[in-house]
Amino acid sequence: MKCVSRLYGAIISTMVSTVCLAAGGDMYPVRPVRLVVGFSAGGSSDTAARIAGQRLTELLGQSVVVDNRTGANGAIAGELVAKAPADGYTLLMITIAYATETALGGKLPYDMSRDFAPVTQVTKQPYLVVVTPSLPANSIPELIALAKSKPNQLNYGSTGTGGSNHLTTELFSVAAGIHMTHVPYKGPPPALAAVAAGELQLMFSSIVSGLPLTRIGKLRALAVSSRARSSVVPEIPAIAESLPGFESVGWNGIMAPKGTPQSVVQRLATAVANGMRNENVRARLAADGSEAVASTPEEFSQFLKHELARYRKVIRDTGIAVEP
């Protein structure tokens, strides 16, 4: 009898979901929603997912469960969501890594444009430009002047070839008309340690990784990479104050499988936007070096197109390649 009860329950649940979608998603959601994250717990995407998930749970009236599916730089999670039913009950927390991997032309088990429907950008994470304390440059204009006087003699670190902070540094170099030497590391700690020791001259670091070292004098912060000063560190100038229009930041956003009803996509985007206005949410994100965004589906779609276009251009112009 229990099996029959479960069977009827599953049938009724499916029927209700189908009716709700047919009616334009007015009753969505009628059961828990899964938010899949392609990276391990504790990272910026996981933190953003858990904060957004908690607010969505409160605003939608159904549990939003974060499901970490790590591996292949997010590709395992991406494939899972791309193949999920387009009903709004399986979502993906996308990061800048999905855009950079796509721009690099890697073999992915999904197509970002073909297989997903953009819901909203949730956060952005400006990079912090940090230099070794002995470097004779106390501002972005001084750094640019120094780099121009010493072509390819300044070494900058990254968390890996083709990674977001590598491409951001190259975007900065192109905008500034300078040439520096890239030295990839396996993760932020060894790269930042090398900058602190003077083995490297600079790095575009996450705020949460680089700021503690600047506060104890092991690094010096010159700027943030957002278009305007960051609310997380408002005392530090933006690169755009010296290079008008420059911006390159990390980010997180939510995607749904392609074909998800527009009414469901809009319901999710509106709920996230409402959640991101909460002051406690903004404070929790700031502690992780992030700022709330909450764009519309249309704005997020345009943002993704712009990101892909410029990363493809800088990869093509600089000849960046990642070994398979």
What are the residue ranges spanned by the domains of the chain? 30-125+249-318, 126-241
For residue 26, the model assigns a pLDDT of 65
Tens of pLDDT along 31-49? Answer: 999 999 999 888 889 999 9
Cis peptide before 190 (omega within 30 of 0): no
Q: What is the pLDDT of residue 324?
A: 55
pLDDT (tens digit, 9 = 90+) per residue, 43-81? 889 999 999 999 999 999 999 999 999 999 899 999 999
4 band by pLDDT with thresholds 50, 70 and 90: very low
Instruction: Report DSSP letters for 125-194, one per residue.
Output: EEEEEEE-TTSS-SSHHHHHHHHHHSTTTSEEEESSTTSHHHHHHHHHHHHHT---EEEE-SSHHHHHHH
Kindly tell me if the per-residue pLDDT of 13 is higher than 80: no
CATH fourth-level superfamily of 126-241: Periplasmic binding protein-like II (3.40.190.10)
Predicted local distance difference test score (pLDDT) of residue 12? 35
Q: What is the pLDDT of residue 6?
A: 42
Q: What is the pLDDT of residue 81?
A: 98
Angle between helices 207-215 and 188-197 (to 10 degrees): 30
Average pLDDT along the chain: 90
pLDDT at 14: 38
In the three-class reduction of DSSP (H, G, I as helix; E, B as strand; rest coil), residue 275 is classed as helix
pLDDT band of residue 263 (cuts 50, 70, 90) is very high
Give how far the C-alpha of residue 145 lies from the chain's centroid of Cα atoms, to the nearest Å.
Answer: 31
**Fold match between domain 30-125+249-318 and domain 126-241:** yes
- Alpha-carbon separation of residue 245 from 172, 202, 241, 242 (angstroms): 11, 22, 8, 9
Residues 6+ apart with CB under 8 A from 23: none
Q: Identify the CATH assignment for 30-125+249-318 out of 3.40.50.300, 3.40.190.150, 3.90.1150.110, 3.40.50.2000.
A: 3.40.190.150
Of residues 117 and 324, more confidence is placed in 117
Q: Mean per-residue pLDDT for 157-165?
A: 93
pLDDT for 254 equals 97
- pLDDT of 207 above 60: yes
Band (107; pLDDT cuts 50, 70, 90): confident
Mean pLDDT is lowest, of 13-22, 263-272, 277-286, for: 13-22
Question: pLDDT tens digits for 213-254?
Answer: 999 999 999 999 999 999 999 999 999 999 999 999 999 999
Cα 273 to Cα 137, 202, 267, 306, distances in angstroms? 40, 36, 10, 22
Q: Which of 304, 284, 241, 276 is nearest to 114 (CA)?
A: 304
| Lowest-confidence segment of 21-35, 232-246, 257-271 by average pLDDT | 21-35
Residue 323 pLDDT: 60
Q: Which residue has the higher pLDDT, 312 or 322?
A: 312
Task: Give buried/exposed letters for 109-147 (b at 16+ CB in 10 A, else e).
Answer: ebebeebbbbbbbbbbbbbbbbbbeebebeebeebbebb
In terms of Cβ atoms closer than 10 Å to its own Cβ (0-12, 13-18, 19+), residue 270 is middle
pTM: 0.87
Is residue 132 very low, low, confident or very high in pLDDT (cuts 50, 70, 90)? very high
Q: Provide the pLDDT for residue 172.
A: 97
